[in-house]
Amino acid sequence: MKAWQHFKTITRHRWLVCQGCFRVGLYWQGLVHDLSKYSPTEFLSGVRYYQGTRSPNTAEREEKGYSEAWIHHKGRNPHHYEYWTDLSLQTRCYEPVPVPRKYLVEMVMDRRAACMVYQGKNYKPGSALEYLNKSREQYLMHPKTKQELEFILTMLRDKGEKETFHYLRSYVLKGEPFPWERKEMAE
């Protein structure tokens, strides 16, 4: 029973991300989004820790002190900021690097879909921004990625999907500067 419920949850999540990605022109990313969740490492863990109201990775982490499924997932899916770390030649430490725009946009779709799945009828356009603001992850991602993600999630909250998706498709994915970048360029 938990296997079927988990399968439905991850498939619904993928479908919502796919729809969002298609709306902004990221067709391939929509199609291949989170396929690793069906791998034995992630799927079996997801079934074991399935609760339906939050990520099974959280429950696995609480029990084991780490989530093997998450470690597997983040290393294979570049729409997660954790994927984007590299060894700095200056500090000789691993540090976050900026997430490329196409993965930033997929990250937005991923966060939106996760909130829709786990919050159900309580989902609202500001849910993903609220989640980001409550989490500590914002302190772990590259400052440029944080600024861009926060800007887009704020737009989603304040202006809705139609305007935000238009902005993503027509500006972000075309490499147009963000508003603060235009200001810096003018100076």
**pLDDT averaged over the chain?**
96
Report which of 56, 180, 69, 82 is spatially closest to residue 140, judged by C-alpha positions.
82
DSSP string, 123-162: --TTHHHHHHHHSSGGGTS-HHHHHHHHHHHHHHHHHHHH
Confidence of residue 150 (pLDDT cuts 50, 70, 90): very high
Average pLDDT over residues 45-55: 93
For 74, the 3-state DSSP assignment is: helix
The answer, yes or no, to whether residue 70 has pLDDT greater than 90, is yes
C-alpha to C-alpha distance for 112 and 161, rounded to whole angstroms:
10
C-alpha to C-alpha distance for 173 and 187, rounded to whole angstroms:
24
Give the pLDDT confidence of 100-140 residue by residue, as tens digits: 999 999 999 999 999 999 999 999 999 999 999 999 998 99
At residue 53, the pLDDT reads 87
Judge whether 126 and 111 are in contact, CB under 8 Å: no
Distance of CA 138 to the CA centre of its chain: 12
Judge whether 133 and 113 are in contact, CB under 8 Å: no
At residue 180, the pLDDT reads 93
- pTM of the prediction? 0.94
Confidence of residue 6 (pLDDT cuts 50, 70, 90): very high
For residue 76, count CB atoms less than 10 angstroms from its CB and return exposed for 0-12, middle for 13-18, buried for 19 or more: middle
At residue 186, the pLDDT reads 76
The answer, yes or no, to whether residue 22 has pLDDT greater than 90, is yes
The answer, yes or no, to whether residue 80 has pLDDT greater than 80, is yes
The answer, yes or no, to whether residue 52 has pLDDT greater than 90, is no
Average pLDDT over residues 44-53: 94
At residue 182, the pLDDT reads 85
Residues 6+ apart with CB under 8 A from 65: none
At residue 164, the pLDDT reads 98
**In this structure, what are the phi and psi dihedrals at residue 82, rounded to the nearest 5 degrees?**
-65, -25
